[in-house]
Amino acid sequence: MRGYVIKRLAQAVGVLWAAYTVSFLVLDYLPGDPVTAMAGAGMDSGQVDPARLAALRHEYGFDKPVPVQYAEYLGRAVRGDFGDSVSTGRPVTATLADALPQTLQLTGAAMLFAVVLGGGLAVLATYTTLRWLRQLLLSLPPLGVSVPTFWVGLLLVETFSFRLHWFPAFGNDGLGGLVLPALTLAVPTGAQIAQVLAKSLLTALDQAYVETARAKGAGRWRVHLRHALRNASLPALTVVGLLVGQLIAGSVVVETVFSRDGLGRVTAAAVTAQDIPLVQGVVVFGALIFVTTNLVIDLVYPLLDPRIVVASGRRAALA
Amino acid sequence: MSQSLVDDPAEAALDPARAFTAGKDREPGGRVDVRRLARFVVRRPGLLLSVVVLVLVALASFHPEAFTSQDPLKGVPSQNFRGPSGSHWFGTDELGRDVFSRVVHGAQLSLKATLIAVLVAFVVGGLVGVVAGFTGRWVDDVLMRCVDVLLSIPALFLSLALVTALGYGTVKVAVAVGIASVAAFARVARSEVLQVRQAVFVEAARASGARWYSVLARHVLPNAAGPVVVLATLDFGSSILAVSALSFLGYGAPPPALEWGTLISDGRNYLANAWWLTALPGLAIAATVLATNRIARALDGEWSRQP
Amino acid sequence: MTALPDARSSRWTALTALVTTSLLLTACGSGGGDSTGGSGRPASGGTLTFAVGSDAGCVDPQQVASNETIYSVRQIVDSLTDQDPRTGKIVPWLAKSWDISPDATTFTFHLRSGVTFSDGSKLTAQVVKDNFDAVPKLGALGTLAEGYLSGVKSTTVIDPLTVRVTFAQPNAQFLQATSTHSLGIESSASVKRTPQQKCSDGVVGSGPFVLKQYVQNQSVTLARRTGYAWGSSLWSKRGEAYLDKLVFKVVPEAGVRAGSLQSGQVDAVSSVGKANEAALKGSQVALQRRANPGIVFGLGLNNARPALKDARVRQAILATVDRKQIADTVFPTGTRAATSVLAHTTPGYTSLAANLTTDTTRAKSLLDAAGWKTGSDGIRAKAGKKLALTIDWIPNPGTNQPALELIQQQLKAVGVQVTLKQLQVTQLAPTLQSGDYDAAWGNVTRADPDILRSSFSTALANFYRLPKSGLDTTLTAQAATTDTAKREQLVAQAQQLIVRNAYYVPIVELQTQLGVAKKVHDLNFDASSRLQLHDTWIG
């Protein structure tokens, strides 16, 4: 068990390092000169003052050889220093830390909605004996993954804010302001959870132990929840881990639609302003959240189901 | 048992192609029976509708004039903000332009971007997967570790980082979306190549002294292609969503170029007085994605499972 | 008190007449603070939530030029003087009186005593000197303030409460300039910081509100300054402001702003376009309008670009645009098509409507004469180069995009290809300064015709890259002239030169239109159609 934990930790660190490297390569060296992009701040070409270019280049260390820059940057990143935002001059880490709580609130609520609605849908669809209801319920998840989130958000605003005045249309005020954005963000996630859970529930219901439980005279609802759902929720848990990254990234669109403060809006603004250090911080941060969640789930997993340890190697590669 | 319990559905959610790789019969060189195909489609009205939708969208992107005679770029300013009606199916926008015509003409850029994205993912991802699967050993290790890293960065963040580096515009957005889904293709292509490589007929070909490239070209690629094509169909749907999300965020082509995501984003300014400017173009996106997903599902499981 | 020397009074009478006329013309649509309510007496307390469409990326009043950010940062600082929006008259604020030398080169201000900044420091002549010494070094974002002080020779402290500003040449516009937010007085500690620090961290002022929090692109939060007792002589309430807190939230979509005002989530919204007027009418909302003086909305052409160096091309663009169609389709009800480079509410405005008619036949023949022949795709070309223009624009106010799309259509009809390039609010000034653009969409609000000099003199920023010409002489002369009639004549001449040479393509006048919940009272426009929130109350 200890060996497993250490191995998973090492893998997580390795993935983070690689994610940093990817972002470094993409942002700093793909198109050419990042300094011109910064000085031009979103403009195509630069009749930018050469002296300013040189100063910026020196300030960001771009006048040094690439490997040296990379080592210096990586060294600072390890200590949590991603440099200063080009557009605001504030440290990237502080900017992200300020925006994070709002986004965690949003994604947390969205995950809750997704699990409750998606899970509920899957359980109901597999439980019901009404053919039409099952068909109807099972047709919802494919719909959920096909609609653009920004469109869902706008329709919700139009209906529940502007027409019915139930919830605020934008901003971070209170729980009421959280409902519509969280619901919007939960649509694709909930749909995917429902798909996976429904599938594994159907598989579980076919298993021998369910037959045994039934033979022993357990009620239908009891068999469904106690036996089948318990076994079927393990894969769903893995999916939840995988979907966390998607939720965090989804906040870019949802926070824009609802003019909510948070990581997503910071990201959108950073991309628009070609604020390279900030975008890089966001990418690495996204990977960090994704890796951490999956690490936690992997470490919790053996506690839930001791049979898992054997299979850990394959899954780890995925994270 | 535990292995399949953990792996299969979870990965199916992340890269849907895994769902069909198991338990599928391979018929090398099987012919498609037209009558069987027709029967298959007709029995599934949803699928039929999906095919119709997709054909219409494809036609719209090549011949928008066939669907509407109204100019998408020029309207009558005095007739702005008219709701949906017989003469303007989707209503008119702030400058009196016909929204239906704008959606129809918008299909071209949106589909072009989506195709580029899928192509980039298909070619780059497929290449990485085939090389990794066919070469094996350390090349496989290195390539697949890179793929794992790409998977750990949320796709939209990766696309946004690429947009920051490349700049705005339809093609750049498309490339950014494509690269973000390279990893899924690489994994599927690799696992298919690995399976086929170990198949009896491939072993036989190698044993009889065939060159590696002829084995690759004659046996491995044709047999590994199927699942990758299904994945491409699925990826088409998600790419439409990703491309439209990026153009919604304002990274697509500037006006007067028409893109579905931009249409919705512009309509946001009039959310309080003209719902049709956001609701109806969104319907076009949703219908197209739904249709491709439905077709992908049919290609994947249903076709091979039918009697 | 020697506030208004005789030499100036006649000028101000004329100016008053102009401004008053304009107000009569625009007042019909104005919901005006006090006409809306009637429920109860003014009460202290409460929070005003104001949704604006954009953020200038800066909370230093001396550096901000974007109206939607001025609304908030204006409240942080006081100015030496104030300008009466009804009469155009300059009245005391931080300066209780002033003397101006007859040749308009020396301005002596007598400061109020007992004024403190929110960091506790006192307002003295030295602080004013520190401000005026620092302004010329603000850089790209401070061009407005720098322009007001251009040609300043020295600022001297006469005694702790008397300060004298001396210019090398006569500077008729300076007194009005001291009433603007751009020359709002900041504490000495703030002035010593770098322009960028002032932008991102804010400044310490003596105004009725204090900056509490600024989150770029998201919000500006202000709190009432306790113990404030030196309000402008124009304000009705003495002492502190009524409101406890002002929250300005950035909500980029006009539709979302309008909907949120309707649903009561916010108390007021900025830049309401024509599209949302109907949605807001009839609900618990009043629309408040006021025409902005200054340079009208239009295309600032980069006169150094090869194609645009040719006056015929510029004149063709001027003759192509259909101003009335743009004003009627997109902008708030009552918006006027431009009839000069100055808005009709600007002192010294002269109507050049005859020069600003739409005549596409003339435009086409001008372009033909300039050698631009129509190609097979309908776009004109000369020597293999297409007649293509990129217009840089910012999404503030929300009416910009549809207006520009109409211009794009109109210009295409005569064979000019237009590409629209959206910039962030923060990018516009650096772009104009760098000169790397074809045309830029914008306006400048100021209640003094000297704004022509700030915008078009080659001796100053010269964003539009004008060649040196007789226009420079005219602009310099109007600034040095204290004789009203003569100055008006010079200003008229300058407007004619700009329009006839088509250095700038005037399109429509900016009319500020706010949506304000009916429970909000006395949300008042200042002379530049920006906001004064000291007297505002909720009840």
- Mutation pick from C270, C436, C438, C465 vs chain A, by most beta carbons of A within 10 Å, is C436
Q: Which residue in the set C196, C252, C434 is minimally distant from A259, CB to CB? A: C252
Chain C contact for B266 (CB, 8 A cutoff): yes
Given a cut of 90, whether residue B5 has pLDDT beyond it is: no
Cβ of C276 within 8 Å of Cβ of B273? The answer is yes
> For B194-208, C12-26, C306-320, C419-433, which range has the lowest pLDDT when averaged over its residues?
C12-26
The pLDDT of residue A38 is 52
Residue numbers in A near C52 (CB within 8 A)? none
Whether the CB-CB separation of A82 and A277 falls below 8 Å is answered with: yes
- Mutation pick from C261, C324, C329 vs chain B, by most beta carbons of B within 10 Å, is C329
The residue of chain C nearest to residue B278, with distances taken between CA atoms, is: C255
Cβ of C435 within 8 Å of Cβ of A47? The answer is yes
Residue numbers in B near A252 (CB within 8 A)? 156-157, 160, 249
Cβ of C329 within 8 Å of Cβ of B78? The answer is yes
Report pLDDT digits (tens) over B248-275.
998 988 878 899 999 999 888 888 888 9
> For A27-41, C4-18, C294-308, which range has the lowest pLDDT when averaged over its residues?
C4-18
**Local confidence band at B75 (pLDDT 50, 70, 90 cut-offs):** confident
Could you tell me the CA-to-CA distances from C509 to C185, C399, C404, C443 in Å, in that order?
A: 30, 12, 15, 9
Report pLDDT digits (tens) over C199-255.
888 999 999 999 999 988 889 999 999 999 999 999 999 999 999 999 999 988 888
Chain C contact for A165 (CB, 8 A cutoff): yes
Cβ of C426 within 8 Å of Cβ of A273? The answer is yes
Cis link prior to B256 (omega < 30° from 0)?
Answer: yes
The pLDDT of residue C204 is 96
Residue type, C116: T
Cβ of A165 within 8 Å of Cβ of C217? The answer is no
For A307, phi and psi rounded to 5 degrees? -70, -15
Cβ of A170 within 8 Å of Cβ of C434? The answer is no
Mean per-residue pLDDT over chain B, rounded: 82
> For A270-279, B177-186, C126-135, C383-392, which range has the lowest pLDDT when averaged over its residues?
A270-279
Report the C-alpha gap between C121 and C115 in whole angstroms.
9
The C-alpha of B27 sits at a distance from chain A's nearest C-alpha, in angstroms, of: 27
Given a cut of 50, whether residue A217 has pLDDT beyond it is: yes
Mean pLDDT confidence for A240-249:
84
Cβ of C329 within 8 Å of Cβ of B272? The answer is no
| % of chain B with per-residue pLDDT over 70 | 87
Specify the pairing of strand C47-52 against strand C245-250. parallel
- DSSP output for C501-520: TTSEEEEE--EEEEEEETTE
Given a cut of 60, whether residue B18 has pLDDT beyond it is: no
The pLDDT of residue C72 is 95
Given a cut of 60, whether residue A45 has pLDDT beyond it is: no
Given a cut of 60, whether residue A48 has pLDDT beyond it is: no
Mean per-residue pLDDT over chain C, rounded: 87
Given a cut of 80, whether residue A88 has pLDDT beyond it is: no
The pLDDT of residue A307 is 56
Whether the CB-CB separation of A187 and A149 falls below 8 Å is answered with: yes
**What ipTM is given for this predicted complex?**
0.84
Residue numbers in C near A48 (CB within 8 A)? 434
Q: Which residue in the set C250, C262, C423 is minimally distant from A42, CB to CB? A: C423
Q: Which residue in the set A231, A267, A314 is minimally distant from B160, CB to CB? A: A267
Q: Which residue in the set A150, A192, A250 is minimally distant from B248, CB to CB? A: A150
The pLDDT of residue C301 is 95
**Local confidence band at C465 (pLDDT 50, 70, 90 cut-offs):** very high
The pLDDT of residue A156 is 93
- DSSP output for C223-276: EEPTT-----TT-SS-SS-S-SEEEEEE---HHHHHHHHHTTS-SEES---HHH
Given a cut of 50, whether residue A46 has pLDDT beyond it is: no
The whole-model pTM stands at 0.82
- Mutation pick from B270, B277, B278 vs chain C, by most beta carbons of C within 10 Å, is B270
Q: Which residue has the higher pLDDT, B55 or B299?
A: B55
Given a cut of 90, whether residue C342 has pLDDT beyond it is: yes
Cβ of B271 within 8 Å of Cβ of C401? The answer is no
Q: Which residue has the higher pLDDT, C396 or B277?
A: B277
Given a cut of 90, whether residue C480 has pLDDT beyond it is: no
Given a cut of 80, whether residue A246 has pLDDT beyond it is: yes
Q: Residue B126, SS3?
A: helix
Q: Which residue has the higher pLDDT, C132 or C1?
A: C132
| Chains contacting A (3+ CB pairs below 8 angstroms) | B, C
The pLDDT of residue B15 is 40
The pLDDT of residue C54 is 86
Could you tell me the CA-to-CA distances from A128 to A117, A209, A212, B77 in Å, in that order?
A: 16, 21, 21, 54
Cβ of A41 within 8 Å of Cβ of C256? The answer is no
Mean pLDDT confidence for B43-51:
86
Write the CB contacts of B307 (distance below 8 Å, at least 6 apart in sequence).
none
The C-alpha of A149 sits at a distance from chain B's nearest C-alpha, in angstroms, of: 8
Report pLDDT digits (tens) over B144-168.
888 888 888 888 999 999 998 888 8
**Burial (Cβ within 10 Å: 0-12, 13-18, ≥19) of residue B298:** buried
- Mutation pick from A43, A49, A252 vs chain C, by most beta carbons of C within 10 Å, is A43
Chain A contact for B196 (CB, 8 A cutoff): no
Sheet holding C511-517, edge to edge: C209-215, C219-224, C245-250, C47-52, C268-269, C511-517, C285-291
Q: Which CATH superfamily is domain B70-305 in?
A: MetI-like (1.10.3720.10)
Mean pLDDT confidence for C128-133:
95
Mean pLDDT confidence for C352-371:
94
Given a cut of 70, whether residue A2 has pLDDT beyond it is: yes
Question: Which residue in the block uniquely carries the two structure tokens 């068990």?
Answer: A1
> How would you write chain A as a 3-class SS string?
CHHHHHHHHHHHHHHHHHHHHHHHHHHHHCCCCHHHHHHHCCCCCCCCCHHHHHHHHHHCCCCCCHHHHHHHHHHHHHCCCCCECCCCCCEHHHHHHHHHHHHHHHHHHHHHHHHHHHHHHHHHHHHCCCHHHHHHHHHHHHHHCCCCHHHHHHHHHHHHHHHCCCCCCCCCCCCHHHHHHHHHHHHHHHHHHHHHHHHHHHHHHCCHHHHHHHHCCCCHHHHHHHHHHHHHHHHHHHHHHHHHHHHHHHHHHHHHHCCCCCHHHHHHHHHHCCCHHHHHHHHHHHHHHHHHHHHHHHHHHHHHCHHHHHHHHHHHHHC
The C-alpha of B118 sits at a distance from chain A's nearest C-alpha, in angstroms, of: 17
Q: Tell me which residue of B140, B1, B122, B224 sits closest to A317, measured CA to CA.
A: B140
Residue numbers in A near C265 (CB within 8 A)? 161, 168-171
Cβ of B293 within 8 Å of Cβ of A142? The answer is yes
Report pLDDT digits (tens) over A118-153.
999 998 988 888 888 988 998 899 999 999 999 999
Residue type, C68: E
Would you kindly state where each structural domain of chain B is located, as residue ranges? Answer: 9-43, 70-305
Whether the CB-CB separation of B165 and A30 falls below 8 Å is answered with: yes
Cβ of B270 within 8 Å of Cβ of C262? The answer is no
Given a cut of 60, whether residue B25 has pLDDT beyond it is: no
> For A230-234, B52-56, B276-280, C436-440, which range has the lowest pLDDT when averaged over its residues?
A230-234
Report the C-alpha gap between C244 and C233 in whole angstroms.
22
Q: Which residue has the higher pLDDT, A87 or C300?
A: C300
Q: Tell me which residue of C176, C162, C181, C233 sits closest to C69, measured CA to CA.
A: C181
Write the CB contacts of B32 (distance below 8 Å, at least 6 apart in sequence).
none
Mean pLDDT confidence for C141-159:
88
Q: Which residue has the higher pLDDT, B27 or B175?
A: B175
The pLDDT of residue C313 is 95
Report pLDDT digits (tens) over C169-208.
888 889 999 999 999 999 999 999 998 889 888 999 999 9
Given a cut of 60, whether residue A37 has pLDDT beyond it is: no
For residue C82, what is the enclosing H or E element? strand C81-83
Given a cut of 80, whether residue A253 has pLDDT beyond it is: yes
Cβ of A196 within 8 Å of Cβ of B160? The answer is no
Q: Which residue in the set C253, C330, C422 is minimally distant from B271, CB to CB? A: C253
Cβ of C422 within 8 Å of Cβ of B77? The answer is no
Mean per-residue pLDDT over chain A, rounded: 80
Reported CATH class of domain A99-272: mainly alpha
The pLDDT of residue C225 is 96
Given a cut of 70, whether residue C473 has pLDDT beyond it is: yes
Between the CA atoms of C67, C72, C78 and C80, what dihedral angle is there, to the nearest 10 degrees? 0
- Mutation pick from B6, B47, B158, B172 vs chain A, by most beta carbons of A within 10 Å, is B6
The pLDDT of residue A319 is 33
The residue of chain A nearest to residue C248, with distances taken between CA atoms, is: A171
Mean pLDDT confidence for C135-164:
88
Given a cut of 80, whether residue C496 has pLDDT beyond it is: yes
Q: Which residue has the higher pLDDT, B82 or B226?
A: B82
Chain B contact for A273 (CB, 8 A cutoff): no
Would you kindly state where each structural domain of chain A is located, as residue ranges? Answer: 99-272
